[in-house]
Amino acid sequence: MAWLILIISGAFEAVWAVALSKSQGFSRLAPSLVFAVALVISMGGLAIAMRTLPAGTSYAVWVAIGAVLTIGYSMATGDEAISPVKIALLLGLITCVVGLKLAH
Tell me: the pLDDT tens digits for 3-48?
999 999 999 999 999 999 999 999 999 999 999 999 999 999 999 9
How many domains does the chain fold into? 1
- Between CA 80 and CA 74 the distance in angstroms is 5
- Between CA 1 and CA 28 the distance in angstroms is 36
Pair 27, 77: CB distance under 8 Å:
no
List the domain range (segments joined by +) for residue 69.
1-103
**Cα angle value 6/7/9 (rounded, 5°):** 65
pTM for this one? Answer: 0.90
